Structure 1
């Protein structure tokens, strides 16, 4: 292998947009439905209403419908954008590869937030509703009070949370995959990809929990004035200290570690199935 080949390696996982889109949709649906109860508990722990008034351990599947509708689209858009961006740089140096992964993850998060935020608002208000409001009533209330903007409350807070998360998770995931591939000397199995995703997700989740708590309280607030990231962050810290900023820490880390394993493992498996089918169809 020449020096150029050593220092300029293909970024692992260059895939067609359609493959990434459908595989991401499948993976997103699997992980969001499977881990929905844990997500509900995390939301209620972070709620300004308190865990018990928000529902406690009751009705842990409240808000599942918008998740089932939105998860395929959101995850599909993320991976379609992420892999599509990586495909623009098929050969880069090992030093530059993390920058490509960071930029690809940032682009993916911003694009998928267009569908993610409205779904999150409806889902989290349903999960933490002290008055047991229906999904239809939540949608009507949001639209009546704020119009379309009511469905994008916390949009930039979500972006501010998810972009740093991706900047931590995705380069770490890609790095772990690369190192494990070198160690094993063969292509990774979906289970090994899942393990890398779980570790990367846990690290990113732990470090971004305060932003997630702030985002949750902005989305759950009935008062449209309570939307300033800085003010809400300071308010949480002044009233509850560091414990408040890290509310729901354990469920969030567990959720994302399990979710990372399921998400990346399912994604890799779905990609393998789709690509194998395309190859078979090509030669038929």
Structure 2
């Protein structure tokens, strides 16, 4: 029988390559998403994604759109690798004798993948958000310098010094709060990533099947790409309220007169009361634009089997 065993190292390589390519392509949109989600009604600097990117280029140059990309590119390889490989692993474990998985089992596999990935996702997002949002905070300080200088806004010493690097932020958090400092927002990250994976993986698998001529052949790469885009954008918009909550909770710096939050329920209550229910959809179209190509690219790389090729993996090793 054709041995349909999965090779974990190959899947990890595929996920890593996919993550690097995808993040490089969509990082500026992700930066705009973070800044749009973090701005509150009293301190709106950007009216849209394009307005945010134009202002970022004007103030910081082209590479200002890639602020925080280094930490993302460093950690996205293990993050994407864990997510894709864990889903594959759980699907393999849940399928009995190669039988077709039920929708419930597909959702369970997605749930397992989402839970595993937060080990890397939480610190990665935590550091990335500080770096991405530093430009918004700096721009707000310029516009409201008199207010900020004449009132107590709860700025820390690190905020007054200006933007920090990911290493500086990591050291400071580890020194002040230990490893828990890097895992601030873990609950909100789980709240976003587990439902995302529960929606994404079964939806992708079923859309991708539409392009398969028979169960034993792969769908064409363009079908995998389109299925990844469609499933990714659908799941991204579905969990956007959780992403807004996560972004707010993980932001260490605040602009003048912006709310601080004690936890998930406090964050939900304050956003709803001060900004209305539509605030939970902030950055939704940016997130869809980020996730669609990210997962489309990921699935194409994954299905081309670059990892298997690099490792010289067999189908035909019969000794």
Q: TM-score, normalised by structure 2?
A: 0.76
Which of 77, 81, 84 lines up with 1:76 in the alignment?
Answer: 81
Is residue 231 from structure 1 mapped to residue 236 from structure 2 by the alignment?
no
Tell me the CA shift for residue 276 of structure 1.
8.9
Which of 22, 26, 31 lines up with 1:31 in the alignment?
Answer: 22
d(CA) in 2 for partners of 1:274 and 1:137?
39
Tell me the CA shift for residue 137 of structure 1.
2.6
Q: How does 1:46-61 map to 2 (within 5 A)?
A: 46-48=37-39, 52=45, 56-57=55-56, 58=60, 59-61=64-66
Q: How does 1:208-219 map to 2 (within 5 A)?
A: 208-219=239-250
Is residue 175 from structure 1 mapped to residue 206 from structure 2 by the alignment?
yes
Is residue 147 from structure 1 mapped to residue 182 from structure 2 by the alignment?
no
Tell me the CA shift for residue 231 of structure 1.
1.2
In structure 2, the partner of 1:87 is 92
**Unmatched 5+ residue regions in structure 1?**
1-9
In structure 1, the partner of 2:115 is 110
Q: How many residues align?
A: 271
Tell me the CA shift for residue 267 of structure 1.
1.6
Cα distance change, pair 167–279 in 1 and its aligned pair in 2 (3 A): same
Tell me the CA shift for residue 14 of structure 1.
5.7
**Unmatched 5+ residue regions in structure 2?**
47-51, 138-161, 255-259
d(CA) in 2 for partners of 1:233 and 1:141?
28
Cα distance change, pair 141–124 in 1 and its aligned pair in 2 (3 A): same
1:80-139 Cα offsets, whole Å, 9 max, x none, are 221111111334765x52222211111112112111111111111011012322223322
Q: TM-score, normalised by structure 1?
A: 0.85
* Greater mean deviation of Cα atoms: 142-151 or 120-129: 142-151
Tell me the CA shift for residue 29 of structure 1.
1.5
Tell me the CA shift for residue 260 of structure 1.
1.9
Which of 97, 100, 105 lines up with 1:100 in the alignment?
Answer: 105
Which is higher, the Rg of structure 1 or of structure 2?
Answer: 2
Tell me the CA shift for residue 283 of structure 1.
7.4
In structure 2, the partner of 1:21 is 12
Which of 123, 131, 134 lines up with 2:128 in the alignment?
Answer: 123
In structure 1, the partner of 2:165 is 134
In structure 1, the partner of 2:296 is 261
In structure 1, the partner of 2:153 is none
* Greater mean deviation of Cα atoms: 235-244 or 136-145: 136-145
Query: Could you say which structure has the greater relative contact order, defined with CA pairs below 8 angstroms and 6 or more residues apart?
Result: 2
Cα distance change, pair 227–267 in 1 and its aligned pair in 2 (3 A): farther
d(CA) in 2 for partners of 1:254 and 1:112?
21
